Amino acid sequence: FVATPAGAGAVRARNGFSTTSRDVTSPAAISKRGVATRRAMSMGDDYDYDLIIVGCGVGGHGAALHARSCGLKTAVFSGKDVGGTCVNRGCVPSKALLAAAGRVREMQDDHHLDGMGIKVSGVEYDRAGVAAHAKNLASKVKGGLEGSLKTLGVEVIDATGELAGANTIKAVETGKTFTAKDIILAPGSLPFVPPGVQADGKTVFTSDEALDLAFVPEYAAIVGSGYIGLEFSDVYTALGAEVTFIEALPTLMPTFDREIARLAERLLIKSRPIDYRLGVFASEVIPGVPGEKPVTIKMIDAETKEHVETIEVDACMVATGRVPNTKTLGLENMGIETNRGFVQVDGKMQVLNKEGGDVVPNLYCIGDANGKLMLAHAASAHGVSAVENIMGRENEVDHLAIPAACFTHPEIAMVGLTEEQAKEKAAEEGYELGKASGSFKANSKALAEGAGDGIAKVLFNKETEEIVGVHIIGLHAADLIQECSNAVAAGTTVRELSMMVHTHPTLCEVLDEAFKGAMGRSAH
Ligand X SMILES: Cc1cc2nc3c(=O)[nH]c(=O)nc-3n(C[C@H](O)[C@H](O)[C@H](O)COP(=O)(O)OP(=O)(O)OC[C@H]3O[C@@H](n4cnc5c(N)ncnc54)[C@H](O)[C@@H]3O)c2cc1C
Ligand Y SMILES: NC(=O)c1ccc[n+]([C@@H]2O[C@H](COP(=O)([O-])OP(=O)(O)OC[C@H]3O[C@@H](n4cnc5c(N)ncnc54)[C@H](O)[C@@H]3O)[C@@H](O)[C@H]2O)c1
Smallest gap from residue 483 Cβ to ligand X (A): 18
H or E segment to which residue 444 belongs: helix 444-448
Residues in the interface with ligand Y (CB under 6 A) total 26
Q: What angle do CA 193, 194, 195 make, to 5 degrees?
A: 120
Among the residues of 81-226, which ranges form H helices? 84, 91-108, 110-114, 127-151, 207-210
Among residues 10, 72, 387, 406, the one that binds ligand Y under rule CB under 6 A:
406
CA separation for the pair 246, 308 (Å, rounded): 12
- Binding to ligand X by residue 456, rule CB under 6 A? no
Query: Does the protein bind ligand X through residue 228 (CB under 6 A)?
Result: yes
335 annotated as ligand-binding: no
149 assigned to a ligand binding site: no
> CB under 6 A: which stretch of 78-86, 299-307, 408-416, 446-454 binds ligand X?
78-86
Q: Which of 273, 271, 275, 274 is nearest to 111 (CA)?
A: 271
Chain mean position to CA 74: 25
Q: How far apart are CA 234 and CA 408, in angstroms?
A: 6
Known binding residue 50? Answer is: no
Binding ligand Y (rule: CB under 6 A), the pick from 34, 71, 102, 224 is: 224
Spatial CA neighbour of 272 closest among 244, 294, 304? 244
Q: Is 172 helix (H, G, I), strand (E, B) or coil?
A: coil
- Give how far the C-alpha of residue 186 lies from the chain's centroid of Cα atoms, to the nearest Å: 15
Using rule CB under 6 A, residue 94 touches ligand X = yes
Q: How far is the CB of 17 from ligand X (least distance, A)?
A: 18
- Work out which of 231, 314, 509, 513 binds ligand Y, going by CB under 6 A: 231
Among ligand Y, ligand X, none, residue 518 binds (CB under 5-8 Å by kind): none
Among 34, 59, 288, 517, binds ligand X (CB under 6 A): 59
Residues binding ligand X: what is the number (CB under 6 A)? 36
| 163 φ, ψ (degrees, to nearest 5) | -65, 125
- The listed partner (ligand X, ligand Y, none) that binds 58, CB under 5 to 8 Å by sort, is ligand X
User: Please, which residues bridge with residue 20 across strands?
Assistant: 10
CA distances from 386 to 59, 198, 343 (A): 10, 38, 14
Answer yes or no: 382 catalytic: no
3-state secondary structure of 12: coil
Of ligand X, ligand Y, none, which one does residue 394 interact with (CB within 5 to 8 Å by kind)?
none
User: Would you say 412 is a known binding-site residue?
Assistant: no
Check if the beta carbon of residue 276 is closer than 8 Å to that of residue 251.
no
Residue 124, amino acid = E
Q: With helix as H, strand as E and coil as C, how does 235-288 read?
A: HHHHCCCEEEEEECCCCCCCCCCHHHHHHHHHHHHHCCCEEEEECEEEEEEECC
Smallest distance, ligand X to C-beta of residue 169, A: 8
Nearest distance from residue 478's CB to ligand Y, in Å?
8
Nearest CB to ligand X, comparing residues 438 and 474 = 474
Please state, as a whole number, how many other Cβ atoms lie within 10 Å of the Cβ of residue 524: 6
Of the residues 112, 133, 504, 524, which is catalytic? 504
Q: Which residues contact 215 (CB under 8 A, 6 or more apart)?
A: 127, 290, 315
233 is a contact residue toward ligand X (CB under 6 A): no
Residue 133's alpha-carbon distances to 20, 28, 101, 107, in angstroms, are 39, 37, 11, 18
Region binding ligand Y by CB under 6 A among candidate stretches 52-60, 316-324, 356-364, 392-400: 316-324
Site for ligand X in 181-220 (CB under 6 A): 186-189, 207
3-state secondary structure of 510: helix
Tell me whether residue 363 is annotated as binding.
Answer: no
What's the closest the beta carbon of residue 230 comes to ligand Y, in angstroms?
7
Segment contacting ligand Y (CB under 6 A): 48-56, 129-137, 149-157, 217-225? 217-225
- Which of the listed partners (ligand X, ligand Y, none) does 371 bind, with a CB threshold of 5 to 8 Å by partner kind? none
Residue closer to ligand Y, measured from CB, 109 or 212 = 212
Q: Which member of 325, 344, 385, 498 binds ligand X (CB under 6 A)?
A: 325
Judged by CB under 6 A, the stretch of 17-25, 55-63, 339-347, 408-416 that binds ligand X is 55-63
User: Residues, the chain, total?
Assistant: 524
Residue 375 interacts with ligand Y (CB under 6 A)?
yes
Nearer to ligand X, 217 or 294 (CB): 217
Half-sphere exposure of 475 (CA within 13 A, CB side): 20
- Considering only 212-220, 363-371, 423-431, 447-455, which stretch makes contact with ligand X by CB under 6 A? 363-371
Catalytic residues: 504
Residues belonging to the binding site for FAD are 95, 161, 368, 374-377
Interface residues with ligand X (CB under 6 A) are 54-60, 77, 79, 81, 84-86, 90-91, 94, 160-161, 186-189, 207, 228, 325, 328-329, 367-369, 374-377, 379, 407
Q: Which residues are annotated as a binding site for NAD(+)?
A: 224-231, 247, 321
Q: Binding residues for ligand Y, per CB under 6 A?
A: 194, 223-229, 231, 246-249, 254, 281-282, 319-322, 374-375, 404-407
